[in-house]
Structure 1
């Protein structure tokens, strides 16, 4: 076996243009903290939960449980990214709007709605959502205008295909360079539409119109995306690139997911979109401590026992 000498890890705390993320009543210094975004899908055919949170009360219970487990942010979706019949605006609103309204009545947690429909975004922002999470990367320019008008934040993800449409055998000359160029251009478009730069988060789009090798490359070189200077979200939870790398079905991908998530944090990610919130929060807090961003919750091991007063 030949020796392989690797270089140091990339900078884990990227030079952010706006290091303090202000959403709702929160003001989080992303130089010190990694946020965990929980996933709640009101879809009957989610690749991971298989419809367990499709019912309204089930979705609300899942959202509240995520908050109790330490989620900083809850992402509510009603329409999958993958190829399929596109829902009407009315159908999507019927799925996501009651969850936004119900969760906002019960919690001050950050709420995002996973949508590419401008009307859905506008209605959900008016109902109390804080962020629009667009997996189509502002393909519809009216979406950026809706975010600007609603005073929200936006997550811009990289993808290639039109909504719910296939993109077989995606090819890139350099996937990281091309994803970075796309995200920079779309962030500029959002600013031109009236979204303040400090309200933009970038997502390189693991698995979205990408092969497993592409997603591994994005994970390995995530520092090049973080170097844009805007917060980066890593949506790696239980995805196919984890499953194909380890040859595991979705329900057995948690260890691989956590490894990918930690590597993304080391590359500069500051938001982790995750299904298993409790495990993700522990992984994030441990990574922060190793990086020197936070102190341990307690320190007893091999320390002198406290002596009582003489």
Structure 2
């Protein structure tokens, strides 16, 4: 992934797909800490630990991770804000409705974009009060985490609303289920659709794209920027 041009490596030891079985802290630690430690030794690319467990985050930060990516927005584990406060790490705050076990049962919103923005505004205030500076926080609207396909498409087409909160925005859209509604394709056939969404997100100024196919994404973005650049050779 680094050779393909990844700017960040996001390491996780617990599946967060809908209905996934929870993993014990011991199993998660065993899966991720050695990987983070070895990657930190081998590369200078920033390492993100994808976890909602404070102890997993703490040990991975000690092992060389510099970002905590928490699907719960630092809410599932009461110690997570303290762990992040005591570090200088970046913090990715994601929106989720429910838990991975319940989030897709019947997600509902009055207005999904406005509701997620309100959540972020409140969470930013809470985390700042807990001692985590806003300059350290990236916002992730949580595509596929307690949202229908239509909710996801609304979020993906209103990135500017999240930028108004003053934070960088990360989107994790790669191969996700909403693309089945758009394309009618199964997960292994969604790479082209993912690239299309990536370009639409880039056009809206999205700061970080979390993808599987790094090389194809970088090639597509480079070609897109080159065509639009007034300074191309």
CA contact (8 A) 1:153 1:195 kept: no
Deviations 1:244-268 (A, max 9, x none): 2111011111111011111112222
Deviations 1:153-205 (A, max 9, x none): 1101110113x321311011100000111112212222222222111100011
How many residues are treated as equivalent by the alignment?
A: 230
Kindly report which structure 2 residues correspond to 1:21-40, keeping only aligned pairs within 5 A, or say none.
none
Q: Once superposed, which parts of structure 1, at least 4 consecutive aligned residues long, lie more than 3 Å away?
A: 286-292
Deviations 1:1-24 (A, max 9, x none): xxxxxxxxxxxxxxxxxxxxxxxx
Choose 98-107 or 282-291, whichever is displaced more. 282-291
Q: Does 2:51 align with 1:115?
A: yes
**CA 1:170–1:150 in 2, change beyond 3 Å: closer, same or farther?**
same
- C-alpha distance in structure 2 between counterparts of 1:206 and 1:290, whole Å: 29
Please, what TM-score do these two structures have when normalized by structure 2?
0.93
Partner of 2:211: 274
Relative contact order, higher structure (CA 8 A, sep 6+): 1
Partner of 2:3: 68
**CA 1:247–1:96 in 2, change beyond 3 Å: closer, same or farther?**
same
CA contact (8 A) 1:179 1:204 kept: yes
Aligned partner (choices 79, 82, 86) of residue 14 of structure 2: 79
Unpaired segments ≥5 residues, structure 2: none
**CA 1:211–1:93 in 2, change beyond 3 Å: closer, same or farther?**
same
Secondary structure of the structure 2 residue equivalent to 1:68: coil
Deviations 1:86-129 (A, max 9, x none): 21111101111111001011001010011000110111011100
**CA 1:241–1:97 in 2, change beyond 3 Å: closer, same or farther?**
same
Partner of 1:227: 164
Partner of 1:166: 102
Aligned partner (choices 92, 95, 116) of residue 31 of structure 2: 95
Partner of 1:128: 64
The structure whose residues are more often helix, as a share, is 2
Deviation at 1:287? 3.8
Aligned partner (choices 207, 218, 222) of residue 285 of structure 1: 222
- C-alpha distance in structure 2 between counterparts of 1:284 and 1:208, whole Å: 26
**CA 1:165–1:283 in 2, change beyond 3 Å: closer, same or farther?**
same
Root-mean-square deviation over aligned CA pairs: 1.6
Please, what TM-score do these two structures have when normalized by structure 1?
0.71
Unpaired segments ≥5 residues, structure 1: 1-65, 300-310
- C-alpha distance in structure 2 between counterparts of 1:256 and 1:149, whole Å: 40
Partner of 1:187: 124
Q: Which has the larger radius of gyration?
A: 1
